[in-house]
Amino acid sequence: MDGVLLQVVLAGLAEGAVLGLVALGFSLVSGTARVLHFAHGDITMGAVFVGVLVVVGNSPTAAGLTPLTSLLLVLSIIAAGAVLSGLVAMLVVLPNLPSVSDESRRRLAGVPGWVAGGLAAGLLLRAVLGLLFAQQSYAVPDPLRVDALTPDGLLRLPGGNTLALRAVVVLVIGVSLGLIAERSVVRSRFGRSLRAVADDPAGAALCGVSVRRVVLGAFLVAGLLAGAAGVLAAPGRAVSVDEGAVLGLEAAAAAVLGGVGSLRGAMAGGLAVGLLQAIAGYLLGAGFYDLAPLALLVLLLAVRPQGVAVRSFAWRANGWRASG
């Protein structure tokens, strides 16, 4: 593999690791609450800009960060992701959550208003951030300070090839966070509650599990993952408040590819979609970079529309998986 192609593959996998974290939250919410969380991409970018606003301000140029402000920025972005996702749950989902005893209304994914509510929440978030960040794009400071690890931000390989150090770090951290989150959900007490609500909300309620609290918890965990994805994705390039819409659709493609409701599948789907993006951009031109995952999503919906239809969910040793 030549140096350029190796760079492309690595960059694609790094982007895929970020998409995998966003898709993981998308699948977690869809598998538990039976709600398609289309505001999730906007929450990811919204968390970045809220964190920047709190710690740095709304300057369009990247500011230098001290170790303390770097830590504050990371914590602010992750916390903002959880808060924004929790607000969507409390304002859009929980008020309309039907009683688990109401048999005729238990298939939540069939309620179009909830999808519209999620989309409206994303549009509202973008509009508010657009008022605070009026420039076309912003340079987000890097709280991880990856480029400072080497003089030029490159990792040199035998044979004279080089790799962007940031891509390597993002890939390792993203995949590690995804695996930790998946294992935590599988093995923790909270994960068992998620499984119970996903499998049988009425039965879970009879056993003393608060369905509303578990659904809110799923949104909060998804928000934490969205914030972590924002920390990895935003620095080192120009970003805008409108990027969340495309990011959400790309993450949806990853979740559908991996199987909506499968946490491990969402991470694998993210890596695959990121790699598809990078190769499409390299071979066909930059215009196909964002087009490829959107085309994949359309194709998946046309060929396997059941991929986004929320069916019954069963627990497996390797995470959430849709059955039937």
Confidence of residue 166 (pLDDT cuts 50, 70, 90): confident
* Alpha-carbon distances, residue 199 vs 33, 217, 222 (angstroms): 11, 16, 19
Give me the mean pLDDT over the 266-271 stretch: 90
Q: What pLDDT score was predicted for residue 192?
A: 78
Q: Which ranges of the chain does DSSP label H, i.e. alpha helix?
A: 3-33, 40-55, 67-88, 112-132, 165-187, 189-199, 201-206, 211-233, 243-258, 263-284, 288-303
Using one digit for the tens of pLDDT, what is the confidence trace for 174-203? 999 999 988 888 788 887 787 777 777 777
Identify the pLDDT of residue 115. 67
| pLDDT at residue 298, as a whole number | 80
Q: Which residues make Cβ contacts (< 8 Å) with residue 212, sequence separation at least 6? A: 94, 97
Is the distance from CB of 95 to CB of 113 less than 8 angstroms? no
Listed residue (269, 263, 258, 270) closest to 315, CA to CA: 263
Share of the chain above pLDDT 70, in %: 82
Q: Give Cα 57 distance to the centre of its chain.
A: 24
φ and ψ of 276, to 5 deg: -60, -45
In this structure, the chain runs to a length of 324
Task: Show the tokens assigned to 262.
Answer: 């499968």
β-pair partners for 321:
314
Query: Which is more confidently placed, 256 or 115?
Result: 256
In angstroms, the Cα distances linking 101 to 67, 81, 90, 96 are 52, 32, 21, 14
- What tens digit of pLDDT does each residue of 74-108 get? 999 999 999 999 998 888 877 766 554 444 344 44
Q: How confident is the model at residue 291 (pLDDT cuts 50, 70, 90)?
A: confident
pLDDT the model gives residue 133 = 84
Could you read off the pLDDT of 25-57 as tens digits, one per residue? Answer: 988 888 777 767 778 899 999 999 999 888 888
Of residues 284 and 236, more confidently modeled: 284
Q: Which CATH number fits domain 3-322: 1.10.10, 2.60.40, 1.10.3470, 3.10.28?
A: 1.10.3470
